[in-house]
Structures are given as structure tokens and as C-alpha cells.
């Protein structure tokens, strides 16, 4: 059972936008630890998408953005493209300095 909770799936038509939530607690996100987001395609290693609240590594389109408020965080994808179809995971730390992941969200482009 994952420490951080994400919706199992979200979907949208090409060009539309979707938002993925990541809900934690006062022991992790609410304690001030940053939230990071990864894109995971089948058969490949996860790829860092957003570091911290909204820092994109080189090469990540600005269609991806992150935000955080209280004990939750969100990843927004605008202008959905077929290549965005993947699993997305949030990640943070908890008060025991343990690495924790979200349960994962499958994004489907209709």
C-alpha cells in the first residue's frame, strides 16, 4: 500500500488537459518535503518530469507543471499528446527520511 495516494487513471482527448493529484499527510508532503513527478513508460526506467514544486529537467516540455498545497500536490498536463500516454508517479520523503512513492496514475489519451 502506497504512502501517497493518486487516482488510478485519468484520461483526456488530444489537446485537452488533465490533472493528477497526489495526496499525502502531515508526515510527508505536509511536513514540507518537496514532491517530484516521474513518467514511466512500459519497459523503460522512470523519467524525472518535475523536480521540486515546478522545476523541469532539460528536455521536458512546459506542458507539464507541478504544484503543491498543504498535504497534497498536483501534476498538470496541458495540450495532451499521444506520447503522454504513460504511468505517472509522485515521490516525496516522510518524517523518517524514507523515500515514498504515490500509487501511480495511468494517463490515457482518448
Partner 1 sequence: QVQLRESDPGLMKPSETLSLTCTVSGGSINYYHYYWIRQPPGKGLESIGYISYSGSTNYNPSLVSRVTISIDMSKNQISLRLSYVTAADTAVYYCARGFPYSSIDSWGQGTLVTVSS
Q: Which residues bind partner 1 (CB under 8 A)?
A: 2, 33-34, 36, 38, 40, 44-48, 51-52, 57, 87, 89, 91, 93, 96-104
**Please, what is the minimum distance in Å from the beta carbon of residue 97 to partner 1?**
6
Nearer to partner 1, 57 or 79 (CB): 57
| Pick 63 or 87: Cβ nearer partner 1 | 87
The Cα–Cα gap between 54 and 38 comes to: 12
Closer CB to partner 1, 12 or 104, in the complex? 104
Closest to 94 in 3D by CA, of 44, 43, 30, 12: 30
In angstroms, what CA-CA distances link 92 with 16, 28, 71, 110?
Answer: 28, 7, 11, 30
Amino acid at each position: 500500500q502506497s504512502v501517497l495516494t493518486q487516482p488510478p487513471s485519468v484520461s483526456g482527448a488530444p489537446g485537452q488537459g488533465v490533472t493528477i493529484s497526489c495526496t499525502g499527510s502531515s508526515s510527508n508532503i505536509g511536513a514540507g518535503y518537496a514532491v517530484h513527478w516521474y513518467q514511466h513508460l512500459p519497459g523503460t526506467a522512470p523519467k524525472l518530469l518535475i523536480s521540486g514544486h515546478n522545476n523541469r529537467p532539460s528536455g521536458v516540455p512546459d506542458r507539464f507543471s507541478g504544484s503543491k498545497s498543504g498535504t497534497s500536490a498536483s501534476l498538470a498536463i496541458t495540450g495532451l499528446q499521444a506520447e503522454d500516454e504513460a504511468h505517472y508517479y509522485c515521490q516525496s520523503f516522510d518524517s523518517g527520511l524514507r523515500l515514498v512513492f504515490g500509487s501511480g496514475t495511468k494517463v490515457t489519451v482518448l
